[in-house]
Amino acid sequence: MISKSTIDKVFETARVEEVIGDFVNLKKSGSSFKGLSPFSEERTPSFMVSPVKQIWKDFSTGKGGTVISFLMEHEHFTYPEAIKYLANKYGIEIEEIEQTNAQKEEAGERESMYLVSEYANNYFQDILHKTDQGKAIGLSYFKERGFTETSIKKFQLGYALDEWTAFSDQAIKQGYSLKYLERTGLTIVKDTKQFDRFKGRVLFPIHSMSGRVLGFGGRILANNKNAAKYLNSPESDIYHKSKVLYGIYQAKQSIAKEDNCYLVEGYTDVIQFSQKGIANVVSSSGTALTPDQIRLINRLTKNITVLFDGDAAGIRAAIRGIDLILEQGMNVKVCSFPEGEDPDSFAKQNTLEDLATYLNDNAKDFIRYKASLLMGDAQNDPVKKASLIRDMVVSISKIPNPIQKEVYVQECAHIMEISEDVLFSTLAQIEKKERQDANKTYQKEQKQHEQNAPFEVVKHHSLGKTIDIQFELERKIIELLLLYGTRTEDFEDLVLKENDSGELVLEPVVHTAKVFEKIYLALQEDEMQFSNQNFKALYDTIIETLNQDENFSVKTFINTVSPESAAEITAILMNDERYTLHDWERNNIFPKSKNLGVAQLVNETILNLRCFLIDQKVNEFKQKTNSDSQNNTILEDVLNYSNLKMLLSRKLNRVL
């Protein structure tokens, strides 16, 4: 168990914008930062980070909270894992308290798989650097490929002994369960026998964006025709090949900084580029690019450059998957290397300056590149040319930006020597068919849903948006407590006094108090209870904390509450970052304006809440129809409350 002092130090040191900036490409927006949501597919940024408040809010999904909650949501960390990740990032030594057996058993299965993978990664590195076989075979291979010691350690490369059970035996001896060794694919179990999956292979660990070891890629070094040259970890609860990119952990900061990502095919391509000085490079690990992999890059940059071998097969294989990138609204360039070269060999043979110059000079816009390539294939064959033109237009149809579409149509018309009208017409036909197909799919799904769904009577809902007045006012009170709770203000109140003529008039009376004291006493006076249970729990916790801690800070407080409460606080504090409420006056809500003084804001919120509660009380009285004597009492109560509301309206200086 991690000690409280370590946790406190982590919270004091960690900066939410720095941590989230490792996963999301953030851009300055006033006093906050904006970026694309890492939790949904979107093209317009709705993800906000507040350095001042040290919180974040994703308006597309409603998620929000602290730096810890982000890591728990995005990386699926447990609370202790998130603390350890931040401690490692900021170089904080972790002080741990001995766990009980019961606490150890609470670790989830996913965490057990992560622990096994982490152990394996360290084990394979030790074998590579500290054993005769590892140095003679594994380390020699990496050095023959031109990898430096720095690169080998940066990418945590390793080696598995060429023995059937060396790793499995050692892992079990160290207390790791065979169950998780098998589930991660590190050990293969057959009947009563078990053996190492990566026996005799050099290992390339595959990390998540946060640096957790998800799986391994292993290359065999012996000449064995019956064994695959490359072998990956099997799919598991923590490793999904279609959702990871090799090198993303090492490249993420460089990708965001350079605002571009180079995409290559293999592990060695990534390492060689990084070693040469171009760090913003990742690999799809030899698989066809998937939407999930593209979204990983899209969180860091909108620009991607696909690098591929110079042979014809490599070129065609690379361009097949690029339509998926276009669909994500990304800007795509392609760059091929000279015949017989690949990114690994080309980077090895050239200086950083020469490599950077080559990439800059030869990276071409994908649409223009594909048009030129297809026209070269068609040559003088009219039928083939017509087919390839349609293929070209299909790629253009994937682009979501209509202006870009038009520009590319014009460019392709020039390259393909065909009229723009024909291309625009073909584009319209393709898009119409896509809409029809999508509509048919939707109707089919709806029909199937209706057939399977039980008969229900559906209540008709009004199209108009209803505002919950009490909810908004209770929310506003929580916001005032969080932002200004410890602040001391002069509160001006209007009280009824008799003047020299014997008339009752409102006179101002000023008293000094802290904001939380003013709110607490006012609500106590009205015997007001929060209707929203989340707000009620928050209110009680905030008041208790403010009473005990003179140095109350939202940044500190939010780290002490539950993830649910932290999300609620974030939603309240970040609400004005995205939305501006309009026409509240029509709903008899008069929210505070930010140019008003804090004391006035507090007074107006309390008075508005009182007016709302009075209206509720009057409506309750009006619905009571008992005996005549009771009716007289009710009428008297209604009159008294109406007079009180008139008094409040004079205090608020408006008609209610």
Lowest-confidence segment of 49-58, 194-203, 516-525 by average pLDDT? 516-525
pLDDT at 456: 47
Binned at pLDDT 50, 70 and 90, residue 449 comes out as low
- Percent of the chain that is helix, strand, coil (3-state, to 5): 55, 15, 30
Lowest-confidence segment of 268-277, 556-565, 587-596 by average pLDDT? 587-596
Report which of residues 417 and 147 the model is more confident about: 147
Output the six-digit token pair for 597.
């003084």
| Mean pLDDT, range 568-574, rounded to an integer | 83
The rounded distance, in Å, linking the Cα atoms of 600 and 518 is: 12
The rounded distance, in Å, linking the Cα atoms of 202 and 198 is: 8
The rounded distance, in Å, linking the Cα atoms of 127 and 138 is: 9
pLDDT at 624: 62
**Count of C-beta atoms within a 10 Å radius of residue 395:** 21
Q: How many Å is the maximal CA-CA distance in the chain?
A: 111
The rounded distance, in Å, linking the Cα atoms of 285 and 304 is: 16
**Count of C-beta atoms within a 10 Å radius of residue 116:** 23
pLDDT at 583: 42
The rounded distance, in Å, linking the Cα atoms of 77 and 370 is: 42
Instruction: Compute CA 378 distance to the chain's CA centroid, rounded to the nearest angstrom.
Output: 44
pLDDT at 19: 93
The three state secondary structure string of 254-303 is: HHHHHCCEEEECCHHHHHHHHHHCCCCEEECCCCCCCHHHHHHHHCCCCE
Binned at pLDDT 50, 70 and 90, residue 316 comes out as low
pLDDT at 246: 96
Output the six-digit token pair for 532.
């929203």
User: What architecture does CATH give domain 248-430?
Assistant: 3-Layer(aba) Sandwich (3.40)
| Mean pLDDT, range 296-308, rounded to an integer | 90
Output the six-digit token pair for 470.
């009490």
Q: Are 55 and 573 in contact (CB under 8 A)?
A: yes
| Mean pLDDT, range 598-617, rounded to an integer | 78
What is the chain's alpha carbon radius of gyration, rounded to the nearest angstrom?
33
Report which of residues 317 and 477 the model is more confident about: 477
Interstrand relation of 261-264 and 281-283 (parallel, antiparallel or unpaired) = parallel
> 3-state class of 216 per DSSP?
strand
pLDDT, one tens digit per residue, over 167-201 is 999 999 999 999 999 999 999 999 889 999 999 99
Lowest-confidence segment of 70-84, 422-436, 459-473, 522-536 by average pLDDT? 459-473
pLDDT, one tens digit per residue, over 450-477 is 666 554 444 444 444 456 788 888 888 8
The rounded distance, in Å, linking the Cα atoms of 552 and 557 is: 7
22-31, 62-71, 267-276, 567-576 — most confident range:
267-276
Q: What percent of the chain has pLDDT over 70?
A: 80
Q: Where are the domains of the chain?
A: 4-102, 109-239, 248-430, 469-652
10 Å CB burial of residue 121 (0-12, 13-18, 19+) is buried
Measured over the CA atoms of residue 372, residue 373, residue 378 and residue 384, the dihedral's sign is negative
| Mean pLDDT, range 342-347, rounded to an integer | 93
pLDDT at 506: 61
pLDDT, one tens digit per residue, over 348-364 is 999 999 999 999 999 99
Contacts with 198 (C-beta within 8 Å, 6 or more apart), sequence order: 124, 160, 167, 186, 216, 218, 231
45-54, 148-157, 340-349 — most confident range:
148-157
77-86, 289-298, 560-569, 635-644 — most confident range:
289-298
**Count of C-beta atoms within a 10 Å radius of residue 446:** 10
pLDDT at 584: 46
| Mean pLDDT, range 161-170, rounded to an integer | 96
pLDDT at 94: 86
Q: Against a cut of 0.85, is the pTM above it?
A: no
Q: Are 572 and 558 in contact (CB under 8 A)?
A: no
Q: Are 564 and 442 in contact (CB under 8 A)?
A: no
Torsion angles phi and psi, residue 76, rounded to 5: 60, 35
Binned at pLDDT 50, 70 and 90, residue 41 comes out as confident
Binned at pLDDT 50, 70 and 90, residue 154 comes out as very high
Q: What percent of the chain has pLDDT over 90?
A: 31
pLDDT at 633: 53
Residue written as token pair 């964006």: 209
**Count of C-beta atoms within a 10 Å radius of residue 519:** 24
pLDDT, one tens digit per residue, over 94-142 is 887 765 665 555 557 888 999 999 999 999 999 999 999 999 999 999 9
The rounded distance, in Å, linking the Cα atoms of 488 and 466 is: 36
Interstrand relation of 261-264 and 303-308 (parallel, antiparallel or unpaired) = parallel
Closest Cα partner for 372 from 338, 325, 411? Answer: 411
Instruction: Compute CA 503 distance to the chain's CA centroid, rounded to the nearest angstrom.
Output: 63
Q: Under CATH, which number does the domain 109-239 receive? A: 3.90.980.10
pLDDT at 16: 93
pLDDT, one tens digit per residue, over 209-220 is 888 999 999 999
Instruction: Compute CA 272 distance to the chain's CA centroid, rounded to the nearest angstrom.
Output: 30
Residue written as token pair 């009716």: 631
Return mean pLDDT, the chain. 82
Q: Are 293 and 331 in contact (CB under 8 A)?
A: no
| Mean pLDDT, range 607-618, rounded to an integer | 73
| Mean pLDDT, range 130-159, rounded to an integer | 96
pLDDT, one tens digit per residue, over 265-298 is 899 999 999 999 999 999 987 677 888 899 889 8
pLDDT at 561: 81
Report which of residues 596 and 123 the model is more confident about: 123
pLDDT at 372: 79
Helix (H) or strand (E) holding 560: none
Residue ranges with strand state E in 548-653:
none
Distances (CA, A) of 288 to 337, 392, 637: 20, 20, 75
Q: Under CATH, which number does the domain 4-102 receive? A: 3.90.580.10
